[in-house]
């Protein structure tokens, strides 16, 4: 599988997962303030990045790319939506 195919497959899975998570997050926002939900998500995101670096699935460089991706999404105003390359295409390690 070349990098373009890998990116397309990754992006399709990422979008599907994000869509599914949206429903779960919406449920949580009915029970908790939005800031609490985002804080909990940040905690899980950070712990997940750490664990995936510890077991060698992600490199520190890929985690930094993820963090930059989150920042671009958070402050996105104009132009095309930011994109993230999947692990194995440059920053992360392939498994």
Q: Report H helices in the chain.
A: 3-31, 34-54, 60-74
Q: What is the pLDDT of residues 29-84, one digit of tens each?
A: 999 999 999 999 999 999 999 999 999 999 999 999 889 888 888 887 766 666 66
Distance CA 82, CA 75 (A): 10
| DSSP category for residue 95 | -
Task: Give residue 91's pLDDT band: very low, low, confident or very high (50, 70, 90).
Answer: very low
Distance CA 84, CA 7 (A): 9
């Amino acid at each position: 599988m070349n990098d373009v195919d890998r990116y397309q497959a990754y992006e399709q899975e990422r979008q599907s997962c994000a869509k599914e998570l949206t429903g779960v997050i919406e449920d949580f926002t009915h029970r908790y303030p939005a800031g609490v939900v985002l804080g909990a998500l940040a905690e899980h995101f950070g712990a997940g990045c750490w664990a995936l670096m510890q077991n060698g699935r992600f490199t520190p460089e890929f985690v930094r790319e993820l963090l930059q991706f989150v920042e671009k999404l958070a402050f996105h105003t104009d132009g095309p939506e930011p994109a993230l390359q999947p692990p194995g295409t440059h920053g992360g390690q392939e498994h």
